Amino acid sequence: MLKALLSLILLSGTAISNNLPANTETNILLTGKQMVIEEQLKKKVLDITLPPGLKKKAADAPLIQASSALVYDLNSGVILYQKNIDTKQPIASITKLMTAIIILEENDLNEIATIKQESTQIGGVKIWLYTGEKITIANLLRGALIPSGNDAAHALAIHNSGSINLFVQKMNQKGQILGLKNSHFANPMGFDDPENYSTAEDLVTLSKYALKKKFIRDTVKISHTEVISENGKIKHELSSTNKLLTDSDIIVKGLKTGNTENAGLCFIGLIQNTENHEFVSIVLNSPARFTETKTLSKWIIDNYIWP
């Protein structure tokens, strides 16, 4: 198909050139312009990303228990698997992707945040920040994205906006800009709240946008690291909640976990097949988020062909 399009472009160009007067300055100029047009058209044709397709003898899609699930090919923008993708559900710490986006777009990574007492008193998973501790925005982001530290996410919001309410307004404004039609944010941590929800479909949009941020891409693939306060006296060990980063069966390059009583076990995974094609897998409210992600990913890899 691509060859046919290219042939048509080249034949059209040849026909136009042959109809021009020979041996004139005008002919040279027009031929030059035509060559530029041909090159531009060829580039557009080559830029077309064909979607992966199911093999002729593909196995049936697996049955999974997650309330919602979606697998999305990043290059072509095609959905490869779906289940209840427009159902609104709590998303727990997946919320922190939006928190990180706001910070990356409004703050410098080298800025120094001074930790307030209210951030140290936040509940759930923590990286154990200290009141008065000075630490870079980059290290707080690592603390929020790798081990999913709630105190780090809270501290980022306070540093950015001075209050959680003002920061949440920014989160929802950004959601509208990104076209998240069935999402709403109530806090930067992802704590259970009737007003903190999204859908698998919206989370694909959020994930695609987040993955354009180099810092996020580089951070979510880290399984373990250490960050240090600005004075070098306080160390925070960060171990990823993403247990598939070290899995030997599939190649996982990120992304974000979530887990609360209402949301259940959630996971967005950035998966790569053996030909370096990337796809995003989402499972929400799953009884076994990593197992079901592997099941979906293996089925995609084994039964789809990328052109």
* 110, 114, 120, 121: CA torsion to nearest 10: -130
Do 238 and 224 contact (CB within 8 A), yes or no?
yes
**Catalytic-labelled residue, pool 96, 126, 256, 294:** 96
**Catalytic-labelled residue, pool 68, 119, 148, 229:** 148
How many other C-beta atoms can be found within 10 angstroms of the C-beta atom of residue 119? 25
Is 93 tagged catalytic? yes
Is 96 tagged catalytic? yes
Return the percent helix, strand and coil in the chain, to nearest 5: 45, 20, 35
Strand partners, 239: 224
- Determine the 3-state secondary structure of 235 from DSSP: strand
Q: Read off the tokens for 224.
A: 């373990």
Strand partners, 283: 69, 267
Give the count of alpha carbons within 13 A of 235, CB side only. Answer: 3
**Catalytic-labelled residue, pool 67, 93, 119, 198:** 93
Is 148 tagged catalytic? yes
Q: For the packed helices 200-210 and 164-178, what is the interaxial angle rounded to 10 degrees? A: 100
Give phi and psi for 254, each to the nearest 5: 145, -175
Active centre residues (catalytic): 93, 96, 148
